[in-house]
Structure 1
Amino acid sequence: MNNIVDAYLATWNCTDPEARRDLLTRHWSPQATYTDPMADVAGAEAIGAVVAGVQEQFPGFEFSLVGEPDAHHRQVRFRWGLGASGAEPLVIGFDVVTVDADGRIATVAGFLDRVPA
């Protein structure tokens, strides 16, 4: 499941819209859903728009893995950080990702643990 976490973070870190669309096509189910305290969307176009919005809000920041993923069956939970490369993350969150029968991201339930004021 580490490859799913890698693909997930790569999607969030991809600033090129065409390359991000390719990541969404290759690693996410066409019916994928993404839900966190600030968004509740479905499908590649909507998920891509959420990613672009976060990148616009935090220009130059990167998502990184915080700790080790914990996986069983078709789900994985992990913590991530968002901040300048090599610096302490400004935002820290916790996501649970499930995959479909083809091993693509099907659902994401996201939680925000630390958010700047």
Structure 2
Amino acid sequence: MAFRPDLDTTLGRYAQAWNTDDPDARWSLVHASAAPGVVYIDPHSEKPVQGQAALASFMALFREQVGWAFSFVGAPDGHHDRVRVRWRLTDAGGIETDGLMVATLDREARLVEIIDFVDG
């Protein structure tokens, strides 16, 4: 029987990918948590980010320019191949920004399409 990670494992790896400064670790975490053709849609990106390499690059740029820590808040909620979960960004001074992620999953519980909404 093949290893099939659960949603908590996928989300944990995804959050770690946002928070690491190590490009090799980020790539491994993105590769483990997102499908090869992942599409990431964020209100701060002019167009969708497509593919694992592009997502890892976007995360690296975010870490370099903003550096806030990413975490999920509360338990994910979902059905079928859809999930939604609240997230939080925290800067070094403790200032927080909250939002919502809505995503589609593949059969291996990897993220296929990620749509982020920022509160306020």
TM-score, length-scaled by structure 2: 0.82
Q: Which runs of 4+ in 1 moved over 4 A?
A: none
Letter in 2 for 1:66: V
Tell me the CA shift for residue 8 of structure 1: 1.7
Aligned to 1:70: 77
Cα distance in structure 2, aligned partners of 1:85 and 1:104: 30
Worse overlay, 42-51 or 5-14? 5-14
**Aligned counterparts of 2:76 and 2:95: Cα–Cα separation in 1:** 19
Q: What SS does structure 1 have at the residue aligned with 2:104? A: strand
Q: Report the counterpart of residue 96 of structure 1 in structure 2.
A: 102
1:84 aligned partner: 91
1:4 Cα offset (Å): 2.4
Q: Which among 51, 58, 81 is matched to residue 43 of structure 1?
A: 51
Q: Find the residue that maps to 2:11 and give its secondary structure.
A: helix
Counterpart-to-counterpart distance in 2, 1:56 and 1:83: 15
Corresponding residue for 2:20? 14
Gaps of 5+ in 1: none
Alpha-carbon RMSD: 1.8
Identical-residue share of aligned pairs (%): 35
**TM-score normalized with structure 1 length:** 0.84
**Residues 31-74 of structure 1, C-alpha deviations (whole Å, 9 max, x = no match):** 11100112211011111111112111223x21112232212112
The CA deviation at 1:103 is: 1.9
Structure with the higher fraction of residues in strand conformation: 1
CA distance in 1 between partners of 2:23 and 2:117 (Å):
25
- Is the counterpart of residue 52 in structure 1 residue 60 in structure 2? yes
Q: CA deviation at 1:3?
A: 2.3
